[in-house]
Amino acid sequence: MELHALAFGAHADDVELACGGTLGALAARGYKTGVVVLTRGEMGTRGSTRIRAREFADSARIMGLAARRMLDIPDGRVEVTWTNKIKLIKVLRAHRPKIVFAPYWVDRHPDHEQTSHLVRQAAYLSGLVKIETGQPPFRPRKVVFYASRFEFTPSFIVDISSSHEQKMKAVRAYKSQFHREDRAEPESDGTLIGRPDFLEGIETRDKHYGGKIAAKYGEPFLVREALKINDPVEFFGPEYRWAKP
């Protein structure tokens, strides 16, 4: 199935936390969206691979995804190898997304950083005719990076006010990952998602970026290249137009 936008994450819940609102907003506009998770989360402190897969399916349904995939790259060992590049190239050529979302290349978790490099390189290599996968070559128009732990100066911010509630429902689908008072919590391994105030922090961040664009909630994104704009007047909206004579 061809998609308009495809987001990659190292683990199930990475994408929802960082750009779930954007994917929900795109789906509401009629765009076909998808998420690809590189690992099955077998190194996670909480839950199991079976639970994580079920939660991923629930989250995908809430976000209105047209496609979802969970690859088999070992959790904790995401590496930029030729084998892994081919796995992603096959996915890109199968779905032919116009836009690809990937994690920012500076992050606390090494799997996130490696996923960023892996997606960017695979997106370029996917367009090379002489890399044979039994599929036509294809290169996305743009790789767009989302923020995980570390922030950046955004290239743009998406207004997710209309889809924020949907985003948080998708995030909460991963209930095995969050702190609960009614169960024995595992000994802390420094995993931020298990903190009692984790979800509050996500909402606070979304409000912070929303405030930068005069919206209730927002999600920040970064692109490496300069953005091409043919019509600045149209791009910046009617509030910036001169009155007609």
d(CA 112, CA 78): 8
Q: If you average pLDDT over every residue of the chain, what do you get? A: 91
The confidence score (pLDDT) of residue 2 equals 97
CA dihedral 119, 49, 188, 169 (to 10 degrees): 80
The confidence score (pLDDT) of residue 14 equals 95
The confidence score (pLDDT) of residue 240 equals 45
Q: What angle do CA 133, 139, 140 make, to 5 degrees?
A: 130
Does 197 have pLDDT greater than 90?
no
Q: What is the pTM of this model?
A: 0.89
The confidence score (pLDDT) of residue 196 equals 66
Average pLDDT value for residue range 144-164: 95
Q: What sign has the CA pseudo-torsion 18, 22, 24, 27?
A: negative
Q: What is the band of 241 on the pLDDT scale with cuts at 50, 70, 90?
A: very low
- For 67, half-sphere exposure in the C-beta direction (CA atoms, 13 angstrom radius) is 20
For residue 176, the tally of other CB atoms under 10 A from its CB is: 17
Kindly list the structural domains of the chain, giving each domain's residue range(s) and its CATH number in brackets, ordered by start. Answer: 5-240 (3.40.50.10320)
**Residue pLDDT, tens place only, 101-128:** 999 999 999 999 999 999 999 999 999 9
**Residue pLDDT, tens place only, 56-75:** 999 999 999 999 999 999 99
The confidence score (pLDDT) of residue 181 equals 53
**Residue pLDDT, tens place only, 26-61:** 999 999 999 999 999 888 777 688 999 999 999 999
Does 242 have pLDDT greater than 50?
no
d(CA 111, CA 178): 20
User: Which residue in 85, 14, 68, 88 sits closest to 44, CA to CA?
Assistant: 14
